[in-house]
Structure 1
Amino acid sequence: MSARSKARKRALDVVFAADARNVDPVTLLTEREETGELTPMGEYAEQIVRGVATHYQRIDGLLAEHSQGWELHRMPAVDLAVLRIAAWELLYSDVPGPVIVDEAVELAKSLSTDNSPRFVNGVLGRLMGIAGKLRTAPN
């Protein structure tokens, strides 16, 4: 597993847990680091968590718009966390879109339902198609 794959998994753990506890991901990250509950995550994982938290509303708006027939609150929580991380990467990182989608699908395969990889791939495929335009759009 590559360093970035591990970073995504560590970020997923925080984003997922924050959503389950209904707290800001950065707040949870800080709490875990201060209590020693979390070993240092690494720069990229922290960047993902902070980025998802900063752009939460925009990311969720885009996910809701492109998830065709699925409301965010009805999605499996793991899928939603995977999609939030991948959407942030598509919009705000320099990682190639196909790599982001592949990594997200792999996370969904290993952590979620049998239907999740296909669903994640579809949503992110639609987002990837417009990500170039969205990157230059104001937040």
Structure 2
Amino acid sequence: MPKVLPRDPRSLARVVVLQAGFASDLRGGLEQPRLEWLIEENLVRARDAKNVLAASQPLLRGLLENRQELDKLIQTYAPAWPVHLLAPIDRNILRIALYELLYHTDTPAKTAINEAVELAKVFGSESSARFVNGVLGTVMTALSRGELN
């Protein structure tokens, strides 16, 4: 459970999707995890649960459907670390942020990056936030140069 639970439904959705992606990795990615129990487990207020679920479902679906492409991008922009050897938390934080940067353009790039760094601070190791920020900064440079679509 995070040290400080965010209040914004989209931020809470990222927490839930991070946990679901982590669980999916541990189970071999064979099925889409159920989000309802994670929302309940994160003590989301009942009045917010519907909004968190609505924000979580497409994010998780996009993450799972584009996992291979997202992992290729991670490998390209963090070549010193084979994707399968990355900490599952870091890997899933990067997947979420990359999905939002590339496929969910409603989310401003700065927001996607800031949210990823915050997730890394809460759930990752001491070096996770720096690592995630570095990879996403490199991706943003590639996007601004037109190297990624």
From 9, 32, 36, the equivalent of 1:28 is: 32
Q: Which amino acid aligns with 1:55?
A: N
Change in 2 beyond 3 A, CA 1:6/1:37: closer
Residue 108 (structure 1) aligns with: 120
TM-score, scaled relative to structure 1: 0.84
| Counterpart-to-counterpart distance in 1, 2:38 and 2:118 | 23
Number of corresponding residues: 129
Matched residue of 2:32: which SS? helix
Distance in 2 (CA, whole Å) between partners of 1:11 and 1:83 is: 12
Q: Which runs of 5+ in 2 are unaligned?
A: 1-5, 40-49
Matched, 1:78 2:89: yes
SS in 2 for 1:23: coil
Which of the pair is proportionally richer in helix?
1
| TM-score normalized with structure 2 length | 0.79
Superposed CA RMSD in Å reads 1.8
**Could you say which residue in structure 2 is the equivalent of 1:10?**
16
2:59 counterpart letter in structure 1 = I
Name 1:19's counterpart in structure 2: 25
Q: Within the alignment, does 1:98 sit opposite 2:110 as a pair?
A: yes
Change (3 A) 1:37 1:7: closer
SS in structure 1 opposite 2:80?
coil
The equivalent residue for 2:77 is: 66
Superposed CA deviations along residues 26-75 of structure 1, whole A, max 9, x for unmatched, are: x233xx36xx7455651221111110111111111010000131111221
Gaps of 5+ in 1: none
Match of 1:124 in 2: 136
1:91–1:131 CA contact under 8 A, matched in 2:
no
Q: CA deviation at 1:115?
A: 0.5
